[in-house]
Amino acid sequence: ARSHPFPKLRPLVAQVRIMLARRRGFILGVVLTWCLADVGCRAELQLLGDESFEHQTQASTGATTGSWLVAFVQDACERCDKLREEIRNVEESLRDAYIIPAYVEKSTGQGLIKRFKVRGELPVTLLFSKGFMYRYDGEVSAEKILGFATQVAETGVGPGKARVPAEPSALDDAIAGIMAFFGLGSRDEL
């Protein structure tokens, strides 16, 4: 089953098909249906970074924008590319379950990597749902990722469940800068 390239346009495609069925705008209906539903192009996963993450996801306030499946990736990483492709393969099903798929590049998400304590080799996949985050450590498989995300978003039960840490304040950043200047390590080490 081919995923719809633009899930938000499904109602428009349905309207065009109704027009087509009523024999009004036959050519327009055929062209729009073909362009919107059958060309096989895909929408890109949403890219998040230090500047956009909290605004887009509202993760620390309870994820009022929905649940988010976020892959932390880096360039020149075959496993990262495979993970992104597997998530793209189930993107429509994720969106149907009100889970928004996205990714964070290491180069633009250092603050997020630190905030969420993303350690070890990338990729790392986290699900943010209702003020909690869950770590997916399973196989890089579309079906397994979809199963994990939908089950956790629905039940609130999953591996590595932890409260989403608050976004660092200006004071936190200032303290971290001072500690780094004096070589005192991170605030977590005190």
Dihedral sign for Cα 58, 62, 65, 71, please: positive
Instruction: For residue range 37-86, list pLDDT tens digits in order.
Output: 444 445 578 999 999 999 999 888 765 678 999 999 999 999 999 999 99
Question: Alpha carbon 169 to chain centroid distance?
Answer: 24
* 86 in Cβ contact with 142 (< 8 Å): yes
Q: Is the pTM of this model over 0.85?
A: no
| Residue ranges in the chain modelled with pLDDT below 70 | 1-43, 62-64, 185-190
